[in-house]
Structure 1
């Protein structure tokens, strides 16, 4: 017996960002569940629960090694699915140096202007030496 693939129109192409765990972003709108891939994928039978026959909920293959694409991407017959990792820019908390911590505590204790005046006097004394 030979597998015969019949073309089935699944709908217009829509770029979608699959975030796994049933969350999908299409045209900037987030959806809780999506059937685009399952409806048109010829390999969809591979991703069903063996006992119940229900589609497996995507977990982005958590048990895979980091950097490995999910199984659906690896097994995609027509190379329709792609997997790309993106670096997200995360604001790092700026760590204060010891001197900045000391200055901050002096500002809290004596006030900013008094600290500035003291530093100005110290710098004048230092330049006359």
Structure 2
């Protein structure tokens, strides 16, 4: 067993009873992550999406989480207010089975970063913009196993897989756009 260290775990909790499906969180997130910042509000660039079933009156904000190379094998269904929904409907994982949470120009995955690129923010923009307090931001200190250092060879392997998948030109364009200050 390794050494334990304190880590701050940041979460956004969702109160489904309060959400009315206004999608303000989506628009604010997309605008915050636009290049330059606040220059547009394309919801396809948002790291949070509101899945809406207007007939059943169900609105579920979902944040982009981790990327997976393969489609999951979980095919459970959920029943909410008498209607059935697939597990994919409420999943925040970025996967090849759907285009949700992918950058529209490059197809690269988008992941919620809790708006940490602006250290002046006390909480993510989606939480600040939610007028119904459906979204709440929480930080909690937990003890976790100390992480191993990432070896340079592992980073090179990851970069090689991106180049193999998207090509050097596309990857260079994306890195250049990401490095521009917004």
Q: What band does the TM-score fall into relative to the shorter chain?
A: 0.3 to 0.5
| Higher percent of residues as helix | 1
Under a length normalisation based on structure 1, what TM-score does the superposition of the two structures give? 0.33
| Higher percent of residues as strand | 2
Higher RCO structure (Cα 8 Å, ≥6 apart): 2
Under a length normalisation based on structure 2, what TM-score does the superposition of the two structures give? 0.25
Bigger radius of gyration among the two: 1
